[in-house]
Amino acid sequence: MRSDAVKVGFQRAPHRALLKALGLSDKDINKPFIGVVNSYTNVVPGHVHLKQVAEAVTAGIISAGGVPFEFNTIGICDGIAMGHNGMRYSLPSRELIADSVESMVLAHRFDGIVMITTCDKITPGMLMAAARLNIPAIMVTGGPMLSGTYKGKKVGTDSMFEAIGKVAAGKMTEEELKCLEDVACPTCGSCNGLFTANTMACVTEALGMSLPGCATPAAVSAQRMRIAKATGERIVGLVKEDLKPREIMTSNSFENAIMVDMALGGSTNTVLHVTAIANEAGVTLPLALFDQLSKRVSHITSMIPSGPYDMQDLNEAGGIPAVMKVLKDLLHLDSTTVTGKTVKENIASAVVNNPEVIRPLDNPVHKEGGIAVLFGNLAADGAVVKAAGISANMMLHSGPAKTFDSEEDAMNAILNKQIKKGDVVVIRYEGPKGGPGMREMLSPTASIAGMGLSESVALITDGRFSGATRGPCIGHVSPEAATGGPIGLVKDGDIIEIDVPNRKLNVKLSNEELAKRAKSWTAKEPSVKTGYLARYSQMVQPAHKGSTLKSA
């Protein structure tokens, strides 16, 4: 066992003495040592209940004959960090999480790890660590929160951000806003729709790194605790079998995960995260592959924020096993999973309980998958859009640019009603390097939706959009403005052409004009010059490479 390095032989007597100070017996010391990586914090609604999840996990480990050692890593709530400088730390925290897990596990020589996670950057950060460490590992996600109800409709975090635009447009009073605020988030758990946190939970299950049925049960359900206990039991089996993450996270498994993501119509952030996880696993995922798979797979679930169904509906309809059962002829069914069985074996008994929520392939929501990758003279290295969230009349759009060099400037213009029908809002210097940190920008997109402009106004950025975003919002534009990308050369009034069906994103300027502007372009002064973000800015790679850090 890997833990023999800290417990076997006379030279390890000091180590055993320290372990006995924790209450371990000689019998315990001979058992597998399991690290329990908990991202509990009482700052994040998706993580505030993870102490209870960890208790179930540790009970499972003990019952299966292992010894659990729990430690924590950080977790940032994107919703609370949204709309101010705190969001700059969200994506960079992914790298800190991976590094912290690596440090704890290798320092203490655990035989295997259970990763307890829920939200946007924590889940991919832990999966990156698992791929990097390549010791037996399994994940249990904390589950989604239940929807709130307001005036007979399902509501959640996205409803709150859109309500800001409604208040600004005079469509909602501040008293109504307060009533909505009180009911929008009724329980702990990740936000109720198919936003980034829940998308990553589904991707993790499809990848084979969590138990079947793990992604969708509510955070407050007994089903969640049973899955957590079963996960604790299973890690001991993984250690005994020495089944490691890189045997599970293969190129075929990543394709499975991407296809499930496309079928669900998940968050565009998964493109960044899946690319980063694959990089740690030694698998190359070019950006174009996401688009190729999107054209192969139909979008079969109409989930919040662009549809009526929430995670509870998806769970009751059969969850990810049922989605994969519908996609079975497209998937790599022989891929291994943490169960020790193949995908084919895992989904053999899966059933679609509600064909309105999980549609058959001959009656999809959209013929193609939920995410599209665009290229053109504005995005030579690509840009990403959640096609599942765009209405048919905005799939093709041409309009004048309204340029802003920060999210705050754009938000002020939106709330002051300076954006008109037909405009293309360009938000730049928000990329991984220029931000730094590639902020999610739910506030401007939700405000535009709340003001009733999502059917006539497009947004493009070298930053990111929240998983709660809907409408023609194109992110991850690469190269970014901070490195001299064409998005930084656009001027107010330039005509921008968006063609989602043909995967094009262009500004209507000649190559000569772009070259002329490039000669006079000067780099913008860095917005952050000290601390972690300054180091991150110097080391981060472009969005089309997953915004991972350059290797040493």
Residue 113 tokens, joined: 């790890």
Cβ atoms within 10 Å, residue 24: 18
Is 302 noted as a catalytic residue in this protein? no
- Three-class SS state of 327: coil
The beta-strand segments (E) located in 151-200 are 153-155
Residue 381 tokens, joined: 């290295």
Work out the burial of residue 362: count CB atoms within 10 Å of its CB; fewer than 13 is exposed, 13-18 middle, 19 or more buried: exposed
C-alpha span between 494 and 508 (Å, rounded): 7
**Contact predicate 100/93, CB 8 Å:** no
| Short-list 367, 46, 332, 64, CA closest to 201 | 46
Residue 542 tokens, joined: 């472009």
**Contact predicate 148/154, CB 8 Å:** yes
Q: Radius of gyration of the chain from Cα atoms?
A: 23
- Three-class SS state of 276: helix
DSSP 351: -
Alpha helices for 209-305 (secondary structure H): 222-241, 245-248, 251-264, 269-280, 287-296
The counts of H helices and E strands in the chain are 21, 14
C-alpha span between 219 and 78 (Å, rounded): 18
Cβ atoms within 10 Å, residue 363: 10
What is each CA distance from 343 to 41, 259, 338, in whole angstroms? 33, 14, 10
**Contact predicate 45/188, CB 8 Å:** yes
The beta-strand segments (E) located in 395-434 are 396-404, 424-427
Out of 302, 466, 537, 547, pick the active-site residue.
466
Inter-helix orientation angle 157-168/174-183, to 10°: 180
Q: Is the dihedral of CA 375, 380, 381, 386 positive or negative?
A: negative
Alpha helices for 265-364 (secondary structure H): 269-280, 287-296, 311-316, 319-326, 343-346
**Contact predicate 87/119, CB 8 Å:** no
Catalytic residues: 466
